[in-house]
Structure 1
Amino acid sequence: MPHGPLYPFEGKQPVVDPSAWVAPTAAVIGDVTIGPRSNIWYHCVLRGDTNFIRIGAGTNIQDGTIIHVNAGRQATSIGDDVTVGHAAIIHACTLMNRAFVGMGATVLDDAVIEEGGVLAAGSVLPPGKRIAALELWMGNPAKLVRLLTVEQRAGFDKTAPHYVELSGRHRASLGGA
C-alpha cells in the first residue's frame, strides 16, 4: 500500500498527493485530501465521514493525532506548513498556513488559528475562538498569553520543513511505504 491505510466511506476515497507520506499505522477515512509533501504520522486518525478534511502542502500531523469534522456543519481545513504536535485533537476547525498546535492540545468546533498563530502544548481552544497572527495562547480554556516577536515565531517555522525531510527518511526506511 503506497500511503498506509486509506479507507473509503460511502463512496468517498481519501486523496493523497504522491509526494505526501502517510505512516502505515495511520487511518485516513473518507473525504480527506492531503497535499504535497504533507506527512501524517503513526497512529493518527483522520476521519472525514460526515464532512470533509483538507490538508495543504508541507504540513505535519504528528503521532497519535485525531482529526475529525462536525456532521454537515463544519469541515476541518488545515493550510500549508502547519504543525500539529503529537496526540492533538483537531475537531471541525480551521488552521491557516503556518499555524502551530502544540503536543496534546485540542482545537474545537469553529475555532480558527490564523497564519502564524500558536496554541501551546496541552491547551484547549474553545469553540469559536480565534488566535490571530503572532499570538501565543495557553491554558484550558486557552487565553492569549502574549504576542510573539517575528524572531520568536521564526523558530516555530523550522518544524514543518524538518518533518518533510524526516518523513522522506521514514518512507525510505520502510521501503517506499
Structure 2
Amino acid sequence: MLFEHLGASPRIDPSAVVAPTAVISGDVTIGPDCRVLHGAVVTAQGGPITLGRSVIVMENALIRATAADPVRIGDHTLVGTLASIAGARVGEEVFLASGARVFNGASVGRRCEVRINAIVHRRTALPEGTVVPIGWVAVGDPARLLSPDQHEEIGAAQPELDFPGFVFGVDRETPDLMVQLTERYGQSLARHAEDRRLD
C-alpha cells in the first residue's frame, strides 16, 4: 500500500518488488532490486527514507524517519523480520537480524551485524564490522557493547542518551513526562489523517 504523506509520495525503482501488504508512506525512495516483504512498514514521518540498491526488508519490519532523523540504508543490507530502524543511518552490507532495534541518531557502519534482539541505542556509532551479539546492547560513541545482565551499566547510560529529549523534545525531569510526550507525539502523528492512498 502506497500513501502520500505531508505532500510527499514514495518513489520506487521499477526493478524493486514491494509486497501488496507492505505500507510505504511519504518521502521514501526505494532503490533498484530492493525487496520489501509482507507486513513491512516504511514510513517517512517528516524526514526522508532512502533504501539503496538490493536492500531486503523482511516481513513485519519497521523503518521510520522523523524530521530530525532521516533514514539512509546502504546497498546490500538485510533488515530482518520484526526488526526496527528509527531515524538512523545504516551502512552497506549490514545484517540486522530478527528483532534487532536501531534507534534515533545511531549510525551502523559497513558490514556490521546486529544479531537477534540486539539493540543499537540512540546516538550510538558502530564502527565498520562490529558484531552486536544476540540480545546485547550497543551504547555510545564510540560504542560499548553490554550484555543484557549489565543492567547497572545500561541504566547508567540512559540519562546521557536522553531519549525523551532527543526524540520527543521533552525534558526527562518533567513531572508529567508521559502526558507531555504523548500529547506532542500525538499531535505530530495526527498529520496522518490527511494521508492519501495512492494504489
- Aligned partner of 1:41 in structure 2 is 37
**1:33 partner SS:** strand
**% of aligned pairs identical?**
27
- Aligned partner of 2:102 in structure 1 is 107
What RMSD over aligned residues (CA atoms) do the two structures have, in Å? 1.3
Contact 2:112 2:129 in 1 (8 A): yes
Equivalent pairs, count:
140
1:118 aligns with 2:102: no
Q: How far is 1:10 from its partner?
A: 2.2
1:78 aligns with 2:99: no
Residues 21-63 of structure 1: CA deviation (Å, up to 9, x unaligned): 1001000000000000011010011111211100000010100
Between the aligned partners of 2:123 and 2:81, the Cα distance in structure 1 is 23
Q: How far is 1:141 from its partner?
A: 2.3
Between the aligned partners of 1:23 and 1:132, the Cα distance in structure 2 is 33
- Aligned partner of 1:66 in structure 2 is 62
Between the aligned partners of 1:65 and 1:96, the Cα distance in structure 2 is 17
Q: How far is 1:140 from its partner?
A: 4.2
- Aligned partner of 2:6 in structure 1 is 10
Match of 1:20 among 3, 16, 27: 16
Match of 1:127 among 122, 130, 135: 122
- Aligned partner of 2:52 in structure 1 is 56
Match of 2:84 among 71, 86, 89: 89
Between the aligned partners of 1:58 and 1:73, the Cα distance in structure 2 is 26
**1:109 partner SS:** coil
Residues 61-101 of structure 1: CA deviation (Å, up to 9, x unaligned): 1000011112x211011010001110101100011111111
Between the aligned partners of 1:109 and 1:26, the Cα distance in structure 2 is 22
**1:57 partner SS:** coil
Equivalent residue letter for 1:118 = E
Q: How far is 1:127 from its partner?
A: 0.5
Structure 1 residues without counterparts, runs of 5 or longer: 146-177
More helix by share: 2
TM-score with structure 2 setting the length: 0.67
Between the aligned partners of 2:76 and 2:137, the Cα distance in structure 1 is 25
